[in-house]
Structure 1
Amino acid sequence: MLDLGNRKSIYQPEQQGLKFPDLPEFDTPAEERKHRKERLVAACRFFAQQGFDYGFAGHLTIRDPERPELYWTNPMAVHFANVNMSNLILVDHKGQVVEGEYAVNRAGFVLHANVHEAHPDIIAMCHAHTVYGTAFCALGRPIEPITQDACAFFEDHVIIGDEAGAVAVENHAGSNVAAAFKGVKAALHQNHGLLTASRHSIDSCAFWFAALERCCQQQLMVDATGHKQTYVTPDRARYSREHVGSEYIGWLHFQAVYEQLAKEQPDMFD
């Protein structure tokens, strides 16, 4: 174990006075709510940028800081690229829209509401029907530690095989997903797709979703070569996960994404 002192990560500079992202602090719940909604919108735009759209499929959520029994999410049948501050909706665990003009995605409500309700510590969730993640989930296999990037998920993801392939539109369907998210940040829902959850931020949740999709792509590419794979040893995989796979690191990665999106797509704040 490295002695990081007061730092959260080895990536935080020891040298004082350098520009480096700081974790936000808020004086009021309203400030935190605005921040969370901005980052939720940015996460949706990021998903559009990454090509994670598939019609109306895909849903991202973040708890309201003042009313944790409610969560903000993207509106039904609005493309990720068109999500902005004004069309987000606030939903309760029964699937009722408390604030906003749009309907909620039924499958999103079933999956996310069950997880949020079962795990008060989870504040954000992401799911989308991606090409490589969906393909890899059909194999019923875990992410193998074949790269440093893949080590970020070593012993930190699960495979959910129950009700594999059945669309989650009935309330009970989300219970198995909720049960699986105990102490992990990601799940491979067999014959369905990827899910990530965060106890830290929507920033972290969105980045690790994109990273998981990338790992699925890399694994499928390596499999396609037909060559024997070389694995990172468990001790080294855990070491890498500690330093490159934390919630904080996911948040830190997303800061570069957010700054670029804010510069290129200012309409997301409308």
Structure 2
Amino acid sequence: MSMTTAAETRPAYLADTATGLPIPGEPVFDNPDDTRRHRKQRLAAALRLFGKYGFGEGISGHISVRDPEHHDRFWVNPFGVSFNRVRVTDLICVDSTGQVVHGRHRVNPSAFVIHSQIHELRPDATAAAHGHTAHSRALGALGRLLEPIDQESAAFYGRQTLYEAYEGPSVSMEQGRDIAEKLGDNRAILLRHHGLITVGGSLDEAVHWFFTYDSCAQVQLLALAAGTPQRFTREQAEAAGAGFGDPQLGWFSFQLLWDEIVAEQPDLLEE
């Protein structure tokens, strides 16, 4: 009796990935220098995208990515430089004490206390994105998380948490630690009276989750203003979340944004 394998029964139009989509894998480099350069380029592009899509709010907002060689260090946008103007050469590297070890700019204290603690407590979080967007602030003010009302919001079903404590701007290590602890193993934490943080196994993934969460918050606010949104059942939310919440899909989705911003603003790659 012959055995039929899963590959043989999979329709020809479906790729051999978790989602069935023809998604390539994340690139792997032979040395940390190449990996570092790749991550810094992605970081600069992500910051420009934040600027393009209106996620800037004065000095607020930061994105970090772990250094591939020194795991107690991370790269982050510099204090006082607009998202719309950040280049690879402007990025700074910060160690576990808050010392800038590479770069000519200073670090935002909030960026250090929040991101250093997330990277310490979440070894799997290669990157973290934080911003004070209008939609996340509005949703947080209501004290509500995303509800599973569409496929995109299902990516956060059982993978988000609400942080309700507020003691002013996040500049103390204690508050940064508390945020990181409350994040737990979730991919998003909505900070009431503050903003949104998302994390991922790559910078690409973390930033995609940020974009998706913010757009889902907008959809939910619109739906609530118009009436009573119909939620997925648990089974529907889990099925949608398995697809739209797939980490590889999250990583690949950022590649479309990368192509877009590099074509429009190639100066971001200046080293």
TM-score of the two chains, using structure 2 as the length reference: 0.91
Shift of 1:9: 2.9
Matches within 5 A, 1:54-133: 54-133=57-136
Match of 2:34 in 1: 31
Match of 2:183 in 1: 181
Q: Which structure 2 residue ranges, 5 or more long, are not aligned?
A: 1-5
- Cα distance between partner residues in 2 of 1:8 and 1:106: 41
TM-aligned CA distance change 1:261 to 1:113, over 3 Å: same
| SS of residue matched to 1:197 | strand
Shift of 1:21: 4.1
Query: Is the contact between residue 165 and residue 192 of structure 1 (CA under 8 Å) also seen in structure 2?
Result: no
Alpha-carbon displacement from aligned partner over 1:146-195 (angstroms, at most 9, x marks no partner): 11111111111001112x26211111111121112222100111111110
Matched, 1:228 2:228: yes
Q: For this pair of structures, how many residues does the alignment match?
A: 259
Match of 2:259 in 1: 259
Query: Is the contact between residue 186 and residue 195 of structure 1 (CA under 8 Å) also seen in structure 2?
Result: yes
Matched, 1:248 2:257: no
Match of 2:213 in 1: 212
Q: Which structure 1 residue ranges, 5 or more long, are not aligned?
A: 14-19
Matches within 5 A, 1:34-49: 34-49=37-52
- Cα distance between partner residues in 1 of 2:258 and 2:57: 22
- Cα distance between partner residues in 2 of 1:218 and 1:197: 21
- Cα distance between partner residues in 2 of 1:246 and 1:22: 13
Match of 1:9 in 2: 18
- Cα distance between partner residues in 2 of 1:249 and 1:177: 27
Identify which range, 176-185 or 250-259, moves more after superposition: 176-185
TM-aligned CA distance change 1:139 to 1:165, over 3 Å: farther
Query: Is the contact between residue 61 and residue 72 of structure 1 (CA under 8 Å) also seen in structure 2?
Result: yes
Matches within 5 A, 1:123-162: 123-162=126-165
Shift of 1:203: 0.6
Match of 1:16 in 2: none
Alpha-carbon displacement from aligned partner over 1:98-132 (angstroms, at most 9, x marks no partner): 11000001111111111111222211001011111
Match of 2:199 in 1: 197
Matched, 1:50 2:59: no
Alpha-carbon displacement from aligned partner over 1:27-52 (angstroms, at most 9, x marks no partner): 11111011000111111011111100
Shift of 1:224: 0.8
| SS of residue matched to 2:84 | helix
| SS of residue matched to 1:82 | coil
Query: Is the contact between residue 160 and residue 176 of structure 1 (CA under 8 Å) also seen in structure 2?
Result: no
Q: Which amino acid aligns with 1:196?
A: T
Structure with bigger gyration radius: 2
Percent pairwise identity: 36
Shift of 1:71: 0.1
Query: Is the contact between residue 146 and residue 220 of structure 2 (CA under 8 Å) also seen in structure 1?
Result: yes
Tell me the C-alpha RMSD between the 2 structures.
1.6
Shift of 1:95: 1.2
TM-score of the two chains, using structure 1 as the length reference: 0.92
TM-aligned CA distance change 1:262 to 1:110, over 3 Å: same
